[in-house]
Amino acid sequence: MIFAHYFLQLNRLKCELKVKDHDTLFSSGLYRRLLVELAICILFDPPNVNSIFSGKMLGGRYTYSLDDMMVVISFVKCYVVVKLYYHYSKWNTNKVKMLAKKHNITSLWLFPFKCELKYRPFSFLLCVTFSTVTFVAIIMRVVEL
């Protein structure tokens, strides 16, 4: 699915004449983001890996298992929620893109979030705060056990 997404994005860029017709994922520069996304999505907690490391810090001892660290690192996969919001946002239509181009707005990645923050600040901040507190609470629960 990730490969298909990037091939579709390359075809869209070709239709918008932002890259040349003979460009590939490598020559267009999309391969870097593809590799980062693949590296993030490939993270998982392998079964039967129970290595533990411990040490001293601030007058106390800490003990962590590799499983706990992999669970915490795998929370990076939650970027997909942000990516889906950006993709399905009402602030990501062709009309909005044309208006942004007209007013010389180049970074459209944060634009939907800024619009939501402007037009629905309390709902947006409540959702962001709730999700942040939830993720931090889960991570702290995993790390402190």
Q: For the chain, 145 residues long, give each residue's pLDDT as a single digit of tens.
A: 788 888 888 888 888 778 888 888 888 888 898 898 888 888 887 788 778 888 898 888 888 888 888 888 888 888 888 888 888 888 888 888 888 888 887 767 788 888 889 999 999 999 999 999 999 999 888 888 7
Residue written as token pair 């998982």: 44
State the pTM of this model: 0.65
CA distance 140 to 8: 38
Does the residue 123 lie in any domain? yes
CA distance 113 to 143: 31
- Bridge partners, 23 (sequence order): none
Residues of the domain holding 60: 43-144
CA distance 66 to 132: 24
Does the residue 74 lie in any domain? yes
CA distance 81 to 90: 16
Query: The tokens of 15 are what?
Result: 């239709």
> Domain count of the chain?
1
Does the residue 14 lie in any domain? no
Asked if 70 and 45 touch (Cβ cutoff 8 Å), the reply is yes
Query: The tokens of 68 are what?
Result: 């706990």
